[in-house]
Amino acid sequence: MPENEGIPLLIAPHTIFDRELLRERQRRAAKKGAEKFLLERAAEELFARLGTVTRKFSRAALIETPDAEALKRRLLASGQIEAVDILNIEDTTEVVGGTSSTYDLAITLLSMQWLNDLPGVLAQIKRVLKPDGLLLAAMIGGDTLTELRDALASAESEISGGISPRVSPFVEVRTLGGLLQRAGLALPVTDVDRVTVRYASALELMRDLRRMGATNTLIERSRKPLSRATLFRAADIYRERYADKDGRVRATFEIQWLLGWAPHESQQQPLKPGSAKARLADALRAVEFPAGEKAGPKKN
């Protein structure tokens, strides 16, 4: 998204996002009336998923989630959760440094895509969960805004002869299961809710992103604003490549869902190697060949 105000922080080499700038833009969006359709969709899906869990949670942590107070009230009103604490990522770090195994449910909605250390935060969340505690999280990722990324890159390359990162990089869903396991969470599940939104133009999409507080906060972003020529050329390219017959353009958003449990002895465990009671070859009615012997017609 073409927005470049703000002062860069002194940061570590691995830092990707300017989180102070992110919070500033989110506060600004909230004051002006933030666009919440993705958050509302994620919240509805959250309650649908909680409805499939046949247990009551004594204490939940609501971590780094927009409109947290409203979501807290709704969680308490559901009758499935007795108490809810609101934490940000920094609070989670403090809890980990003090008391662990505090919560039996951790929820985070549409914020983890802007973390500089996603594996580290997942590990922190695992540590604040009680044994058999549940993490239920949603984040933006995958092919989100792939059309905008393409149009901006093409327009900038055409007009200025170079490309600057204008849209945040997103995590692919296929890597998330491994990150959950790396954090020490058991029975990981990941899936994607793919949303296609139609706009009158790419400029309208960019206005929506600004209203979400979701504009470019990459540390390596260009500090030079997009020229009007580049911006309008990007809108033209977007329309040429991604418009429907009625002239409205498509924008892709992917909400990635992550579910994982803090390990507990009551959970399903994988079988030990060599403990299987049936042979795969028998189940498939296949013929086995000793190592080194090639399959083929037998000679008389």
Domain spans of the chain? 19-265
pLDDT (mean) for 12-37: 83
pLDDT (mean) for 259-270: 83
Report the C-alpha gap between 242 and 268 in whole angstroms. 46
- Yes or no: domain 19-265 corresponds to CATH 3.30.390.50: no
Whether residue 202 is predicted with pLDDT greater than 80 in this model: the reply is yes
pLDDT (mean) for 176-189: 94
Beta strands in the chain (DSSP E): 60-63, 84-87, 103-109, 129-140, 186-199, 249-261
Q: Is the dihedral of CA 24, 26, 31, 32 positive or negative?
A: positive
Q: Which residue has the higher pLDDT, 209 or 12?
A: 209
Whether residue 198 is predicted with pLDDT greater than 90 in this model: the reply is yes
Whether residue 246 is predicted with pLDDT greater than 80 in this model: the reply is yes
Q: What is the pLDDT of residue 97?
A: 41
CB 50 within 8 A of CB 80: yes
Q: Which residue has the higher pLDDT, 267 or 261?
A: 261
Of 173, 67, 54, 50, the residue nearest 106 (C-alpha): 50
Whether residue 161 is predicted with pLDDT greater than 80 in this model: the reply is no
Lowest mean pLDDT among 31-35, 78-82, 154-158: 31-35
Report the C-alpha gap between 294 and 125 in whole angstroms. 51
Q: What is the pLDDT of residue 93?
A: 55
Cα 116 to the center of its chain, rounded Å: 13
Whether residue 7 is predicted with pLDDT greater than 50 in this model: the reply is no
Q: What is the pLDDT of residue 206?
A: 93
Whether residue 270 is predicted with pLDDT greater than 70 in this model: the reply is no
Q: What is the pLDDT of residue 273?
A: 59
Q: What is the pLDDT of residue 3?
A: 39
Q: What is the pLDDT of residue 275?
A: 57
Q: Which residue has the higher pLDDT, 91 or 222?
A: 222
Whether residue 22 is predicted with pLDDT greater than 70 in this model: the reply is yes
Paired tokens of 99: 């008391």
Q: Which residue has the higher pLDDT, 279 or 295?
A: 279
Lowest mean pLDDT among 57-61, 63-67, 84-88, 293-297: 293-297
Whether residue 218 is predicted with pLDDT greater than 90 in this model: the reply is no
- pLDDT band at residue 168 using 50, 70 and 90 as cut-offs: confident
pLDDT (mean) for 194-210: 96
